[in-house]
Copies of this chain bind each other. A is one copy, B any other.
């Protein structure tokens, strides 16, 4: 029953395997973390936004800056901030220098929520990522990730991401 050997080999290329491994490892860790976040009535993207706000001067960022720093569109950020605002974790405040613009501002409740979530979250990162690797191995791993990140997301090192823009043949 087995023929089409050449074709079959194309479908089982080692590059597919490598990418599959990358995917399984990342989505596996990611699922562990997401699972904890969900237990605190947040989704990953919301947690990430709260974290970025908490680290920004004044605890606030422009909607469009949030969109640039995450992998969401501005419309996605609008809806995400809607949800967080409904929950009292952020509020929208006017931007004095540009009346089109809005700040998303983390509230005390938002910071408190982060403080609830973070310690356990860091522990999970240790358990499912850091502690699995020898120190030297971890260094090599992070170095490889940095090379890849710099290649695929030029200018993202300081936190400014840009939507991938490549469109191919149609």
Chain A interface (Cβ < 8 Å from any Cβ of B): 1-2, 7-8, 10-13, 15-33, 35-36, 39-40, 51, 54-55, 57-58, 71, 111, 114-115, 118-120, 122, 125-126, 128-130, 132-133, 137-138, 140-149, 151-153, 156, 159-161, 164, 166-170
Contacts and interface: CB of A to CB of B under 8 A. Distances in A.
Contacts of A17: 160-161
Given A19-B125, A28-B164, A132-B148, 11 more contacts: A21-B142, A23-B30, A24-B149, A25-B149, A28-B152, A28-B153, A31-B71, A32-B164, A35-B167, A39-B169, A133-B144
Contacts of A143: 137
Contacts of A115: 7, 10
B25 A145 contact: yes
Contact of A125 (B18, B122, B167): B18
Contacts of A25: 145-146, 148-149, 152
B164 A21 contact: no
A170 to B, nearest CB: 6
B51 A11 contact: yes
Contacts of A2: 57
A152 B143 CA distance: 22
> Which are the 10 A-B pairs with shortest beta-carbon distances?
A28-B152, A20-B160, A39-B168, A31-B164, A26-B26, A141-B144, A25-B148, A15-B125, A25-B149, A25-B145
